[in-house]
Amino acid sequence: MNKEIWWTDWGLTPYPEALRRQHVLFDRIKQIKILNRRDGGRRITPNYFVFTSHPHVYTLGKSGKEEHLLLPPGLLEAKGIAFYRTDRGGDITYHGPGQIVGYPVIDLDNFGLDIIGYIRALEEVIIRVLARWGLRGERSPGETGVWLDAGTERARKICAIGVRTSRWITMHGFALNVTTDLSYFDHIIPCGIRGKAVASMHTELGYDPGEEAVKQAVLEEFARVFGARMIAVERLE
């Protein structure tokens, strides 16, 4: 099993372009697995991890409901917000500046994980990251992602998680609100969950923790939780 993960940072990237580039990485792993199955080979499959952020955009997962978008197309355009249906699981969410998006494109066979175990591992990474700043991230039964004050009237989501897997290869990932403008969530029913708020590290801490510091914490905790070696590369295409 290969537990090396090549990682890079795409910076601010339009959502369709980031999706296209994810598919390139995904297909690279898939083709190796197809060849191995065809001829019984033992070729090593690579693993990738990408940081990015997106210009203002709402994305709707395969199981999402379009009525959870509360703005008509004309107002979306006026506010400079894009909207895309996408191939991940989950419902509607928002991406924008000040949010750290992480896209692991990995072969779960390399880590001995099933899909549920993978999602729980992603949650654990974020829970550990938040703990470094004294924030108590929690899971909420039946609601994927990481929450603050889960199970109370003050429950609020600080990190959304939505993934796609095929042949045990992952795509999409998590979106952690760091200095995100939370007003953009007012125009959707986030993740299709009514009556619950969203949060950011900035609003909770009262100061900006610094995106680069948070990214470094994510890399370190990802390595620990997945038992992986994170290797920085200049480009992943």
Per the CB < 8 A criterion, the answer to whether 59 and 19 are in contact is no
Cα separation, 112 vs 107, whole angstroms: 9
- Other CB atoms within 10 Å distance of the CB of residue 195: 7
Phi, then psi, of 64 in degrees rounded to 5: -80, 165
The residues annotated with a catalytic role in the active site are 191
- Residue 159: strand, helix, or coil: strand
What Cα–Cα distance (Å) separates residue 205 from each residue in 9, 30, 134, 153, 219?
Answer: 25, 41, 9, 20, 21
